[in-house]
Amino acid sequence: MTAHAPAAAAGTVTLGGDLPVRRMGYGAMRITGEGIWGDPPDRDAAIALLQRAVELGIDLIDTADSYGPFVSEDLIRDALHTGGSDPYDGVVIATKGGLIRTGPGEWHALGRPEYLRFACEMSLRRLAVDTIDLYQLHRIDPEVPAEEQFGVLAELQSEGKIRHVGLSEVSVAQLTAAQDHLPIASVQNRYNLLDRGSEDVLEACTDQGIAFLPWFPVAVGDLARPGGPLDEVSTRTGASPAQLALAWLLARSPVMAPIPGTSSTAHLEENTSAAEVRLDEDVLTALDGLAR
């Protein structure tokens, strides 16, 4: 009997023209300690959560060397690495470099080319792979010429250490500038029902077939309060507020690939099941109007 894999219902988006992934992923930031710092309270539970994500049909797991730091990548290796010729058995592990940590909740951009090369090499080692399928520049460092940051990523790609390159928190102009140096397979910007500040970036990605990975995709807040607008739609559809937020994202663009993160298996299962939620035009119109 085949296990139920709800993530498959989201359909796929193709990274860089040759790497299809399901459009419902998992963001592995919350499996670390408080403040995204240190080990999780229960390491075995974090490993079980990652394994459950794959059982649910998720084949895109997003992480970063700064999550922990290093803890998230280590957990992913321990939970999912097979030791075989296909180390993650078809699951794409997307990681990021370019932010350093000085304590819980503290993040600082560092885009010097020698550091980005070092960060990539160490992620290769921690994940125990020869090539990272999707390596993302976590932030463009304003203190370092952007072309130097893009240039070292192009070098790492030409050396076979990176298969595809992504960007995080960029404008359309920055995306265009990066494309002068190398192909961009994905963009990871904050985007959700209430925060649509990256609408122009999403449009550019949709036009060009670039995967758009919205971070903080479930941000319903007061909208889900009893009697609130999401509570009302939830009652009508039978979907939870979180599922409505994710299903709206999936309907927004064919390149949209949400990566909701959680440390709870129950929330993971709820989020992933959003791929099976189908919203009619009336519901989509109501959700579209929430930000306005």
Amino acid at 122: M
Extract the tokens encoding 139: 């932030």
Cβ count within 10 A of residue 51: 12
Q: Which residue has the tokens 């909701």?
A: 260
Tell me the C-alpha distance between 67 and 119, whole Å: 13
Active-site choice (26, 67, 135, 191):
67
The answer for residues whose C-beta is within 8 angstroms of residue 228's C-beta and 6 or more apart is 222
Extract the tokens encoding 152: 């070292």
- Beta bridge partners, 21, equal 13
SS (H, E, C) 202-217: HHHHHHHCCEECCECC
Tell me the C-alpha distance between 190 and 261, whole Å: 13
* Coil, helix or strand at residue 50: helix
Q: Is the peptide bond before 145 cis (omega within 30 degrees of 0)?
A: no
Residue 67 designated active-site? yes
Q: For residue 46, what is the enclosing H or E element?
A: helix 43-55
- DSSP annotation of 98: S
Tell me the C-alpha distance between 104 and 38, whole Å: 8
Catalytic residue numbers, as ranges: 67
